Chain A
Amino acid sequence: MNLRSDHVGGGAFVGFGVLVLALSGDLPTGQLSMPGAGFLPKLIAAFTIIFGLALFFRARESEPLSTLGWSDGKHAALVIAITAAATALYTSLGFITTMMLMMIGLLVIVERRNVLRAALYSVCTVMVTYAVFVLVLKAPLLTGPLGF
């Protein structure tokens, strides 16, 4: 069988629906006259499985999986990795340090820009943003261990 994109998409939704049903085991369904907390989630999970199967069985109309373009995958993975690292550090290092590091990381690692130029741009952008939020909009941003 030639695997197509909707085989994967439909299959993923069927799997998701089954997972929700499995996780809903302890939620009471109740009765029609008094539906419980699990009533609608289970109903929607059942619909998800039905629609997922419909997509799966009509998958031959979709494009072959091998033709999906993943040329931007490396860019996406790098951006996600750097943003995830910034998220992990955000509450401990504060806004200014984390965002500077994140922007430098994105510009140098992902975009292969000159380190000095990237650092200068990042410092200026982050400082201006900080000033706008804290001084103009009066919306305080997270501070780090050094007080900024």
Chain B
Amino acid sequence: METTFISLLHGFEVALQPANLWYAFLGCLVGTLVGVLPGIGPLSGISILLPVTFGLNATQAVIMLAGIYYGSQYGGSTTSILMRIPGEASSVMTCIDGNAMAKKGRAGAALCIAAVGSWIAGTFGIIMLTLIAPPLATLALRFGPPEYTALLVLGLIFLAYMSSTSLVRTLLMACLGLMLGMIGIDNMTGHFRYSFDLAELGDGIGIVPVAVGLFGLGEILATPSHKVVGEVITPKLRELLPNRQEWREAAMPIARGSVLGFIIGIIPGSAHIISSFLSYALEKKVSKHPEQFGKGAVAGVAGPESANNSASTGAFVPMLALGIPTGPITAVLIGALMVHGVSVGPQLVSEHPDVFWGFVASMYVGNLMLLALNLPLVGIFVSVLRIPYTYLYPMIIMFCIIGVYEVSHSIVDVWIMLIMGVLGYGLRKFSFDPAPLVLGLVIAPIFEQSLRQSLIMSNGNYLIFLSRPIALGLVIVSAVLLTLSAISFVLKRKDWRAKLAEAETAES
């Protein structure tokens, strides 16, 4: 514990350097804007701005990109409350009661509760991250190829289990991602795979064109401008503070949302989205006045907003401690660090303490910045919301092209982005969630290498995954999850995931 505290102090030394403070501020500001603007999510925001970080060092790059991620969770609530349009997928639940509060003249209070709840949850998440990640990384140093293989399989099965679409759909998306991840030179034998004599495909398909295409361009293709209409409710600054009763009603939902969000954040999947749905359901269940939900219940804003912020921080635990992405956003962040020559994994804490602890400390500072940014500058964000979507999306497409091209100065990447945009549009039409595809793409090289190494180690004996305690434990958890899914698949029984999917469909 003492070592953690000393290391954290060192992290603050790094994070409080003027240049790092500036990049944290820039990340938070851009993140808030990304969250505020409908049609552009944190993933496309991070992907588009990735090339901008190439001139920075690894610490500054990850500080800025992570700022965009957690900043977007703050910003998403502004659009939800003032326009009843989710600026970001995780803010869908905030639309319901947040906008109802705004219509009652309590827009300022709703924004304030969302911001303070986000700050408390974010800070709670960072404290937990500070305490959990270093010991988890130490434990992960004992992992060999079989443990990594079992862990990655568990990650994919967890993702499929947690997904609100069906298990089969999620696994199909993950398979597609794994397949795309195998394009290019095989690292172990030097064979070219599916590169069709294109030199650019020799290095494989990058995560940025795939992510920007699926989530940035795909979203634009599926959103005709006439569908993005909404009236902006302008809050009065003097009415920004909630009254005592509203604070009292918000306190426990914030606490519950923080804990729930962090736990869900660690689990693979679109944690920040799932956590807000579960938090809303939980608050409605424990409330003494469930009939108020949908009509402006304070808990309906405080719980989900706290949960999605805590979840976005929780997602950093497996990323930093194990080097395993739990979702597409952390996958892009891992990619960003790799571009800077920093390999993420258990060795990150010991080999790059400046990056690890500087990043953790910057999140404490970033959360404070966001609290200061979101409330006084709400008027500016409201002005941004008045830009018609018709004029906004051509600009987003321009940034998509710049972002993708600048990563490796390859026009093939831009074509891949376009193809992925069309694929993303088609997948949405047929109710497939593209997130597991990106995750599959990122883990493909690690998964393939660890699986093949495990088989070589055991002379082709699959029992290696059952003969080592950690790997066995992970395999058992995977088997339990698969069995649970299979039971509901065979019996066609509606479990909590099916109910969550119904709620998502109804609200989005």
Contact = CB atoms under 8 A, between A and B. Distances in A.
B251 interface: no
Interface of chain A, main secondary structure: helix
A88 to B, nearest CB: 9
A51 B460 contact: no
Contacts, number: 155
Contact of A84 (B55, B172, B224, B418): B418
Given A33-B459, A40-B452, A107-B391, A87 B55 contact: no
B323 interface: no
A83 B432 CA distance: 24
* Residues of B in contact with A, size category: 35 or more
Contacts of A139: 51-52, 54-55, 406
Interface of chain B, main secondary structure: helix
A83 to B, nearest CB: 6
A73 to B, nearest CB: 9
Contacts of A91: 411
Contact of A37 (B188, B395, B414, B421): B188
A43 to B, nearest CB: 9
Interface string B388-410: 00110111011101100110000
A8 interface: yes
A27 B422 contact: no
Interface string A24-53: 100110011111111111001101100110
Given A75-B221, A125-B398, A141-B402, A48 B452 contact: no
A48 to B, nearest CB: 5
Contacts of B429: 5, 68, 70
B124 interface: no
B169 A23 contact: no
Contacts of B432: 9
A32 B460 contact: yes
A20 B179 contact: yes
Interface string A1-28: 0000110110001001000100110011
Interface of B: 51-52, 54-55, 168-169, 171-172, 175-176, 178-179, 182, 186, 188-189, 191, 193-194, 217, 220-225, 227, 390-391, 393-395, 397-399, 401-402, 405-406, 411, 414-415, 418, 421-422, 425, 429-432, 447-448, 451-452, 455-456, 459-462
13 contacts: A5-B429, A40-B451, A41-B182, A44-B175, A44-B182, A75-B221, A83-B401, A90-B405, A122-B394, A126-B398, A137-B52, A137-B55, A142-B405
